[in-house]
Amino acid sequence: MATIKEDAYKIIQSSIKRVLPDSAVKRALAGQTFQGEVIVIAIGKAAWNMANAAAEILGERIKEGIVLTKYEHSQGDIKGFCILEAAHPLPDENTIVGTAKIIEAVSNLSPMDTVIFLVSGGGSALFEKPAGNLKLDDFLQITDQLLKCGADIVEINTIRKHLSAVKGGKFATLCAPANVYTIALSDILGDRPDSIASGPTCADFSTSAEAFAIVEKYGLKLTDEMKKELCIETPKEVVNNTMLITGSVKELCLAAAEEAKHLGYNPLILSTFVDCEAKEAGRLLASMGKTIQKDGFPLKPPCVIICGGETIVRITGKGKGGRNQELALSAAASIVGMENIAVCAVGSDGTDGPTDAAGGLVDGHTKEILDQKGISIDAILAENDSNKALALADALVMTGPTGTNVNDLYFLLCK
Ligand SMILES: Nc1ncnc2c1ncn2[C@@H]1O[C@H](COP(=O)(O)OP(=O)(O)OP(=O)(O)O)[C@@H](O)[C@H]1O
Ligand SMILES: O=C(O)[C@H](O)CO
């Protein structure tokens, strides 16, 4: 009989496979007729897979294609495409060079032409032209503050959109007079289009006033030039874009539920909007495990409680980790000594924070293993060093880059 951790791995693998963007992109493009020239631009962590699917459907119809993705996230040549990679989550010089190449490809098009824009999460870091007189260094400085302060992604992207010359609908303006057909894979809770990769082709609903409120809320330090750019409103209307959202964390949770059922677990999807602190989410899942084992609420074992979302982490320490690894580690502390229970948290993109792990998978023995090695979970969490602890307890989930990005999956398995 498979162990509970083996079952957890099957759920991870099967659900991520089911949210690869390939077939959705093919469905979106099949049977479409485009007049004029067709330019395909793909940005984000799922860019390579989305572009490859578009190339299979459109073939020679594509005049020029560009993929701009994270380092090690492309999988080889695609006929007719230039494949570019850059840094994530902080941009680098290749971000700026790649974005300039994309802007050049969509310049001087006619009203008959179409830019097919394939966008996925991670795009905010990967696709950037600083607005006005801002420089890459300004972006490094503000992005670093935003990623550490505990702001959620909608707040982070509100700032980014105001400081960028390609975000918040401004890329659609650069494509004009051509038409833009945006196919988006959503890693935003609730699928708000103007937040997915900071909505380069969408009318932007965030305002300068909101941006300044976020600056104040988190005590962000801005230069005078940044303040000047934040005062300028983003486009509130974009007339040359049509948008289709092809996948989100909901599909990831549904796929996890289906695989769990297939393995004999009764599934319950609790929420696809988890946005609290990672540590809190871990403790909540662990507490549900105790109720299930003690009282059989809300389900009797064998069962799985599934959530999707994007938790937040306030970085106070100097360690290495990610939000999913923090969630799993905090759950490990609460389920110590329990049998037939596991808690898992993984990023569907395969990389959690600046680490090469997708997340963590812990059981009732994880904390005991760490205790024996003299490692305190509380101290590790205070230092944001979850990667080291989970590695020592053999509790890291390693998938490698997956080719998709629809946010994070959390589940509690009780046998
Ligand atoms: N040591 C750490 N421990 C816990 N979390 C961390 C640590 N260092 C960075 N993070 C978190 O990792 C996040 C960035 O990592 P990751 O690339 O997984 O984010 P992402 O949301 O998938 O990115 P995107 O939305 O652009 O696709 C930041 O939100 C940051 O708070
Ligand atoms: O790139 C980004 O902004 C995030 O992944 C949300 O889409």
In a domain, 386, yes or no: yes
Residues 86 and 150 in one domain: yes
Element housing 215 (H / E) = helix 208-218
Shared domain check, 324 and 301: yes
Best mutation site among 156, 186, 188, 404 for ligand 2, i.e. most ligand atoms within 8 A of its Cβ? 188
- Give me the pLDDT at residue 1, please: 85
> How many domains does the structure of the chain reveal?
2
What is the rounded CA–CA span in Å between residue 11 and residue 411?
A: 9
Distance of CA 124 from the midpoint of ligand 1 (Å): 13
Structural domain range at position 86: 32-247
At 357, which CATH number?
3.40.1480.10
CB of 121 sitting under 6 A from ligand 2: yes
The reply to whether ligand 1 has any atom less than 6 angstroms from the CB of 296 is no
Q: Report the nearest-CA residue for atom 2 of ligand 2.
A: 197
Looking at the predicted structure, is the pLDDT value of residue 101 above 90?
A: yes
Nearest atom in ligand 1 to the alpha carbon of residue 314 is 31
Question: For the segment 261-308, what is each residue's pLDDT rounded down to a tens digit?
Answer: 999 999 999 999 999 999 999 999 999 999 999 999 999 999 999 999
Is residue 23 one of the residues assigned to a domain?
no
Same-domain check for residues 256 and 243: no
- Per-residue confidence (pLDDT) for residue 117, from 0 to 100: 98
Same domain as 263, residue 199: no
**Does residue 26 lie within any of the structural domains?**
no
In a domain, 97, yes or no: yes
Take residue 34 and report the two structure tokens written for it: 């485009």
Q: Tell me which of 216, 247, 278 is where a domain ends.
A: 247
Instruction: Look over the chain and give the mean of its residue pLDDT values, rounded to a whole number.
Output: 97
Residue 265 near residue 24 (C-beta atoms within 8 A): no
153 lines ligand 2 (CB under 6 A): yes
With a 6 Å cutoff on the Cβ, whether 123 touches ligand 2 is: yes
Which token pair is 412? 């509690």
Averaged pLDDT for residues 59-67: 97
Domain assignment present for 226: yes
Indicate the pLDDT class of residue 31, thresholds 50, 70 and 90.
confident
Q: Ligand 2, closest atom to CA 123?
A: 1
Q: 190: CA distance to ligand 1 center in Å?
A: 19
Residue 176 lies in a domain: yes
pLDDT tens digits for range 364-408? 999 999 999 999 999 999 999 999 999 999 999 999 999 999 999
Do 66 and 212 lie in one domain? The reply is yes
- Residue 279: CB within 6 Å of ligand 1? no
38 CA from centroid of ligand 1 (Å): 35
pLDDT of 290: 98
| pLDDT higher at 35 or 55 | 55
Q: Please determine, for residue 17, whether its predicted confidence score (pLDDT) is greater than 90.
A: yes
Whether 243 and 275 share a structural domain: no
Q: Residue range 181-187: average pLDDT? A: 97
Question: Given this model, what pLDDT does residue 125 score?
Answer: 97
pLDDT at site 146:
96
Q: Do 319 and 407 have their domain in common? A: yes
What is residue 331's predicted lDDT score, i.e. its pLDDT? 98
Which ligand sits nearest to residue 380's alpha carbon? 1
Residue 342, pLDDT above cutoff 90: yes
Q: Is there a single domain that holds both residue 188 and residue 310?
A: no
222 and 100 fall within a common domain: yes
Q: What number of helices (H) and strands (E) belong to the chain?
A: 16, 12
Q: Indicate which ligand has the atom closest to the C-alpha of 358.
A: 1
Inform me whether the pLDDT recorded for 216 exceeds 90: yes
Same domain, yes or no: 254 and 170 = no
Residue 154 has pLDDT above 90, yes or no: yes
* Ligand 1 neighbourhood includes 195 CB (under 6 angstroms): no
If asked whether residues 180 and 311 sit together in one domain, one would say no
* Ligand 1 midpoint to CA 29 (Å): 32
Burial annotation 195-225 (CB, 10 A radius, 16+ → b, else e): bbbbbbbbbbbbeeebbbebbeebebebeeb
Domain assignment present for 86: yes
| In-domain check, residue 261 | yes
Tell me which of 247, 274, 297 is where a domain ends. 247
Tell me, in angstroms, the distance from the centre of ligand 1 to residue 347's CA.
10
Cβ neighbours of residue 334 closer than 8 Å, sequence gap 6 or more: 282, 283, 286, 287, 290
Number of Cβ within a 10 Å radius of residue 48: 26
pLDDT tens across 221-246, in order?
999 999 999 999 999 999 999 999 99
Residues 206-219 have a mean pLDDT of 97
Question: Ligand 2 centre and the CA of 77: distance in Å?
Answer: 25
Q: Considering only CA atoms, which residue is closest to atom 5 of ligand 2?
A: 121
Task: Specify the residue with its C-alpha closest to ligand 1, atom 24.
Answer: 122
CATH of the domain at 241: 3.40.50.10180
Of 224, 247, 270, the residue at which a domain comes to its end is 247
Give the pairing of strands 359-363 and 341-347.
antiparallel
Assess whether 281 and 372 both reside in one domain: yes
